[in-house]
A = this chain, B = another copy of it.
């Protein structure tokens, strides 16, 4: 879980002992090939997951087959922390690339979070980031045109990969077919293809096989009006409240 640990050490002020608590959690490593379904819609989930390597997506499929990608998952992301409540997943999660996941039993996760206030704060923070990413996706779909949407998404994914500790060169890459992009951006495959081509011709993007690679971050940021504030990368403040609580609780 290097990516998650890296993320937590950058964004929270966990101590060695907190990391130790985290590492002590029981887990199971799961390996998936590209295109497998990790969690099905309607399934009763009872584990929390951490992405170790590879990319995944959370999708919602309407009864007539239309499919919306609700969120992407890159190394260091967690999902189904909600599992804690034995909720039924209302979305499916599947892998885009070969993917390795760490699955933690819900009960153990809750236990750790309840016994360690710093961990609770850290995962609360992660939840906050996730929610913020969802909100930004809403803005992307509701208020932006096709070029802006694509540029904005690619920049977000780069940033999120950086947060997970990947190096700049890797973080600029995204293994996304046009269809995946279309399902995420609320556009047709054909139109995504046109926009990608246009970006390539303008030197913003390099396409190799089905790998998109950002070639000009600044130009994309200008197109997308990209502002990273919503990612809350700066991490938690020294947290006066929570520290006060640790003393009293």
Contacts and interface: CB of A to CB of B under 8 A. Distances in A.
Interface stretch (A83-91, A198-206, A207-215): A83-91
Given A128-B82, A132-B90, A241-B107, A70 B139 contact: yes
Contacts of A229: 42, 88, 90
Interface in A135-153: 135-139, 141-143
* A-side interface mostly: helix
Given A128-B85, A142-B185, A70 B239 contact: no
Interface string A115-126: 101001100110
Contacts of A64: 225
Contacts of A62: 139, 143, 225
Given A70-B138, A91-B135, A142-B186, A111 B60 contact: no
Given A62-B143, A90-B229, A130-B131, A124 B85 contact: yes
Interface string A87-101: 110110000000000
A67 B70 CA distance: 21
A237 interface: yes
Nearest to A69: B142
B132 A138 contact: no
Contacts of A239: 85-86
A230 interface: yes
A243 to B, nearest CB: 11
Contacts of A58: 135
B242 A110 contact: yes
Which residue of A42, A82, A125, A139 has the most chain B CB atoms within 10 A of its CB atom? A139
Contacts of A120: 114
Nearest to A120: B114
Interface of A: 42, 58, 60, 62-64, 66-68, 70-71, 82, 84-88, 90-91, 106-107, 110-111, 114-115, 117, 120-121, 124-125, 127-128, 130-132, 134-139, 141-143, 183-186, 225, 229-230, 232, 236-237, 239-242, 244-245, 248-249
7 contacts: A42-B229, A82-B131, A107-B244, A114-B245, A131-B131, A134-B138, A138-B138
